[in-house]
Amino acid sequence: MNTWVILGAIVALVLMRLRKPSMLTWAAAWWVAMFAIVRYGFTVPVPISVVKLYMGLITAGLVAYVLTDEERIEQVCQPVLAFMTQKRFQLPLLATMLAIPALFAWSIYAGMTRDPQAPAFARTVHPAPPDEITVHDNTVSIGTADNPYRALEETDPEAFGARLANGREVYYANCFYCHGDIMAGEGMYAHALNPIPTSFQDPGTIAMLREAFLFWRIAKGAPGLPEEGGPWASAMPAWESFLTEEEMWNVVLFLYEFTGHRPRAVEEHH
Ligand code: HEC
C-alpha cells in the first residue's frame, strides 16, 4: 500500500466535503480520488486492464448515484448546459470540441508507433567448455571428468539417496527462484530475465549434456561463459562462491533424478 496516496485522497475528499461542492465537482473529485488510489495507491503496480475495470465500475456507481435523484440530475446537467449554451463559454467550448477528436487521434497514433524492439541475437546456448577449470583449488577436467558420486547409484543406493537429498536441499534453497519448482524454467524471477533460466525438462538441455558440463556451468555461472557464447546477459550465478564441490555434484544428481533424464555418458564424448 502506498499510504501517502491513500491518505492524500481521503484528506482531499474530506476537505471537499466541508466546502459543499456542486454535484458535478463532487462526482469528478470522487472519480479522480478513486483513480489515484487504484492507479498509484499500491506499491505493486496494478495492471492497466484492472485499473480500467475498476474505473468502469466506479464510473457506473457514480452515474447510478447521480441518476437516482432528480435534484442531483439537475445539479449535474445545469453546469453542463450552461457551458454549452452561454455566450461567455463560447471559446472554451470550441477548444473542447477540437480537443476531443485531437485526443482520440493522438491516442491512436501513440498506439501505432511502438518503441523499436532490440534485435534478437543468435547465440550459442551450449558453447564448448574449457578443458579444465579450477574450483576451490581443485582442478576438474571438464572433458573427461564424470560425476564422482554417480557410481553410488549402483554400488551404494543408500549413500546415493543421501546425496540426492542434499541435492534437493541445495536446489530448493538456491535454484528454484529462477529454474522453477518443477525445473521448467518457471521460477518467480524467470519472467524478468533474458535469456530465461533453462528448463531442465526440455530435452535439449541437461538430457544431452554431460554431468561435468553442468558442473562447469554451475560452478562458473554466466561469468564463466566463453566470449563466443555472447552476447550474453545471463543471470546464472557462479555457485562456487556459495556451494561446496560436493553440493554442486549433488545438485547435478538431483537435476537428473527429478527430471528423469539421463546424463550423456563420458564415453560418447570421445
Ligand atoms: C538468478 C537466476 C538463477 C539462479 C538462482 C540459478 N540459475 Fe541456473 N541459469 C539461469 C539462467 C538465466 C540460465 C540460462 C543462461 C545460461 O546458460 O547462463 C541458467 C542456466 C543454467 C544451467 C545451464 C543449462 C544448459 O542447458 O546449459 C545450469 C546447469 C544451471 N543453470 C543450474 C543451476 C543450478 C544448479 C542453480 C542453483 C544452485 C541455478 N542454476 C540457479 C539463472 C539462474
Atom 9 (ligand 1): residue with closest C-alpha? 236
List, for the chain, all residue ranges whose pLDDT scores fall below the cut of 50: 269-270
- State the CB neighbour count (10 A cutoff) for residue 263: 21
* Residue 248 alpha carbon to ligand 1 centre in Å: 12
Given this model, what pLDDT does residue 166 score?
97
Angle at 202 between CA 201 and CA 206, to 5 degrees: 80
pLDDT at 261: 93
What was the pLDDT predicted at 254? 96
pLDDT at 269: 45
The span from the CA of 84 to the CA of 70, in Å, is 21
| pLDDT recorded at residue 255 | 96
Task: State the distance from the centre of ligand 1 to the C-alpha of 218, rounded, in angstroms.
Answer: 7
In terms of residues, how long is the chain? 270
State the number of CA atoms in the 13 A half-sphere of 200 facing the CB: 27
pLDDT of residue 149: 95
Q: Give the ligand 1 atom nearest the CA of 222.
A: 18
CA distance to 28, 64, 100, 192, per residue, from 237 (Å):
51, 56, 52, 15
- Ligand 1, closest atom to CA 214? 29
Which pLDDT value is given to residue 113?
Answer: 76
For ligand 1, residues with CB inside 6 Å are: 126, 170, 174-175, 177-179, 189, 193, 195, 197-198, 205, 214, 217-218, 222, 234-237, 239, 251
- Contact status, residue 183 vs residue 255, Cβ threshold 8 Å: yes
Ligand 1 atom 37, closest CA: 175
Cell of 96: 473542447
Q: How far apart are CA 247 and CA 253, in angstroms?
A: 10
Residue 270 is predicted with a pLDDT of 43
Residue nearest to atom 2 of ligand 1 (CA): 178
